[in-house]
Amino acid sequence: MPKHNVTQAFHYATGGAVLLFKKGEQDLPPAVAEHAIKHGFVSAPKSLTDKQTAAPAKAEPAAKQ
């Protein structure tokens, strides 16, 4: 399960049980994460372009001696 940073505590009901998720970074099941993002309890994940790093600079070949 991916980690999400819960910004506001919330309850999630499933299968007759109500689960409490407190603030902080934690693993959330996919259905819970979708609910939390939809209702603003977790900040939406960044797009893939935000996570990509800059391309590394090309190395110059060593000078022959």
Give residue-wise pLDDT tens across range 49-62: 544 455 666 777 77
3-state secondary structure of 46: coil
Q: Is the pTM of this model over 0.85?
A: no
Helix residue spans in the chain (DSSP H): 30-39, 48-51
Q: Which CA distances in Å does 9 have to 2, 58, 60?
A: 18, 46, 52
Residue 45: band (very low, low, confident or very high) from pLDDT cuts 50, 70, 90 = low
More confident residue, 10 or 52: 10
